[in-house]
């Protein structure tokens, strides 16, 4: 069996054709028809009014925080169980993160979010403050393609007048099928929604990202900020502080081809997840974690909950043993509140996040993985965990 990577890009469609076309046209920088086409195609897929393409999911979060009016000294509520790129832009705005626990979906716990606002903050004249700092926004991450509880999060945000930034960088194509947001895609519910097209995402532009917002004119302004806030490109007039955050036409050419394949990629992700679920059914040392009911998930990453109390080794050793078997796996991220730059920041009732951070193992989930490879992965994971069983 060849080496089985965790998650790699899939270029089966028109990627070479469109990239070569962009090269032949000579439009390789941040202007060109493919950037506009990608924005239009993403808007159509998401049923959104307006989408802007940018350099990364991180830049999309930074632009969203900027547009939300986050100022130095403000507070932004963030999850601790996420990739650090969801939190770093808070510091770019010289604001302060407060870390909230996850629930069993691995996404932000909406009960603790509301409890923090009700019990730790003050709300007066329509403004929520925490220790004298204005609470300006909350960043809700749809972890591994699993939809966060947006009904509850939006209820709290609307009650306390705080902006909601949906980090849908892992959840392109995930949507609700029940409740008041039935039919709404991840990233299209809050005030802002951000996406990532990094190399391991369900579609990729190498790097790259995109953003949307609840008002088309807001997206227009964020697009303007992403191009150095150019008011007059001929005479270089700039009326605001802007950023070099626009996606290139070469990246967008790749992205247009990837969006064409996105529905098929999602179907494969879902089918492969179901096969894994069958193969791990009844296994005592680990279980495949589910996705939220009332949603259709893109099932970007598959998470095994390893019952570490049953084995006599760390997850680090499990990862190394599987690597020797030709299988790439990874543990979930280290909690952001435990990272050196954030040790002095406040956190609120972190209980489930540490539990899951010490037990989650991500297993191979590329769209081109074969049934035989999935069978081999499942067999090897079970063999390694049984060998390590107490």
For 110-153, how does the pLDDT look when each residue is reduced to its tens digit (9 = 90+)? 999 999 999 999 999 999 999 999 999 999 999 999 999 999 99
Task: Please calculate the CA angle 269-361-309 and round it to the nearest 5 degrees.
Answer: 140
pLDDT of residue 31: 82
Asked if 73 and 95 count as a contact pair (C-beta separation under 8 A), the reply is yes
In the Cβ-directed half-sphere of 162, how many Cα atoms lie within 13 Å? 31
- In CATH, what is the architecture of 262-387? Alpha-Beta Complex (3.90)
Question: Mean pLDDT throughout 68-89?
Answer: 98
The yes-or-no answer to whether 15-258 and 262-387 have a common fold is no
What's the pLDDT tens digit per position in 207-262? 999 999 999 999 999 999 999 999 988 899 999 999 999 999 999 999 999 999 99
What's the pLDDT tens digit per position in 273-319? 999 999 999 999 999 999 999 999 999 999 999 999 999 999 999 99
User: What does R_g of the chain's alpha carbons equal in angstroms?
Assistant: 21
Tell me the C-alpha distance between 148 and 297, whole Å.
Answer: 11
Q: Which two tokens stand for residue 261?
A: 């394949």
pLDDT at 1 over 80: no
Strands (E), the chain: 51-54, 75-79, 96-100, 122-124, 127-130, 133-141, 163-167, 175-176, 192-196, 209-213, 230-232, 237-238, 286-288, 295-296, 302-306, 330-331, 347-348, 360-363
- Other beta carbons within 10 angstroms of residue 341's beta carbon come to 11
Q: Using the structure block, give the residue that is written with the tokens 């019990």.
A: 119
Q: Using the structure block, give the residue that is written with the tokens 């989930």.
A: 365
pLDDT of residue 7: 97
For the chain, give the percent of residues with pLDDT over 90: 96
Tell me the C-alpha distance between 113 and 188, whole Å.
Answer: 20
pLDDT of residue 387: 94
pLDDT of residue 390: 80
Question: Mean pLDDT throughout 71-88?
Answer: 98
Helices (H), strands (E): how many in the chain?
A: 11, 18
Q: Which residues contact 110 (CB under 8 A, 6 or more apart)?
A: 103, 148, 149, 152, 153, 156
According to CATH, what is the number of the domain 15-258? 3.40.640.10
pLDDT tier for residue 32 given thresholds of 50, 70 and 90: confident
User: In whole angstroms, how far apart are CA 241 and each of 25, 92, 217, 229?
Assistant: 31, 14, 18, 6
- Other beta carbons within 10 angstroms of residue 153's beta carbon come to 23
Question: Mean pLDDT throughout 360-371?
Answer: 98
Tell me the C-alpha distance between 355 and 4, whole Å.
Answer: 28
Residue ranges covered by each domain of the chain: 15-258, 262-387
pLDDT of residue 140: 98
């Amino acid at each position: 069996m060849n080496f089985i990577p965790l998650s790699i890009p899939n270029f089966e469609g028109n990627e070479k054709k469109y990239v070569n076309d962009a090269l032949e046209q000579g439009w390789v920088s941040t202007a060109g028809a493919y950037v506009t086409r990608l924005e239009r195609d993403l808007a159509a897929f998401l049923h959104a009014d307006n989408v802007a393409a940018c350099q990364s999911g991180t830049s999309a979060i930074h632009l969203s925080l900027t547009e939300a009016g986050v100022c130095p000294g403000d507070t932004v509520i963030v999850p601790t169980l996420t990739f650090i790129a969801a939190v770093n832009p808070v510091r770019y705005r010289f604001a302060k993160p407060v870390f909230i626990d996850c629930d069993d979906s691995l996404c932000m716990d909406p009960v603790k979010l509301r409890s923090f606002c009700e019990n730790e903050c003050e709300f007066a004249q329509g403004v929520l403050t925490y220790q004298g700092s204005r609470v300006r926004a909350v960043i809700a991450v749809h972890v591994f393609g699993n939809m966060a509880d947006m009904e509850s999060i939006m209820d709290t945000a609307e009650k306390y007048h705080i902006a909601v930034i949906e980090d849908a960088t892992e959840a392109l194509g995930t949507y609700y099928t029940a409740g008041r947001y039935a039919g709404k895609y991840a990233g299209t519910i809050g005030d802002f929604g951000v996406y990532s097209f990094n190399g391991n995402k369900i579609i990729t532009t190498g790097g790259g990202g995109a953003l949307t917002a609840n008002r088309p004119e807001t997206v227009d302004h964020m697009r303007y900020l992403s191009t150095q806030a150019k008011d007059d490109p001929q005479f270089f007039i700039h009326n605001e502080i802007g950023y070099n955050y626009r996606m290139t036409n070469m990246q967008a050419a790749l992205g247009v081809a990837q969006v064409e394949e996105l529905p098929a990629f999602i179907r494969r992700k879902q089918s492969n997840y179901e096969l894994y679920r069958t193969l791990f059914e009844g296994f005592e040392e680990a279980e495949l974690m589910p996705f939220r009911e009332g949603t259709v998930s893109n099932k970007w990453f598959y998470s095994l909950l390893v019952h570490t109390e049953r084995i006599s080794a760390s997850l680090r050793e499990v990862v190394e043993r599987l690597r020797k078997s030709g299988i790439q796996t990874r543990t979930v991220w280290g909690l952001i509140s435990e990272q050196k730059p954030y040790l002095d920041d406040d956190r609120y009732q972190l209980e489930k996040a540490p539990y899951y951070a010490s037990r989650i193992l991500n297993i191979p989930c590329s769209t081109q993985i074969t049934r035989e490879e999935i069978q081999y992965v499942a067999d090897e994971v079970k063999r390694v965990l049984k060998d390590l069983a107490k």
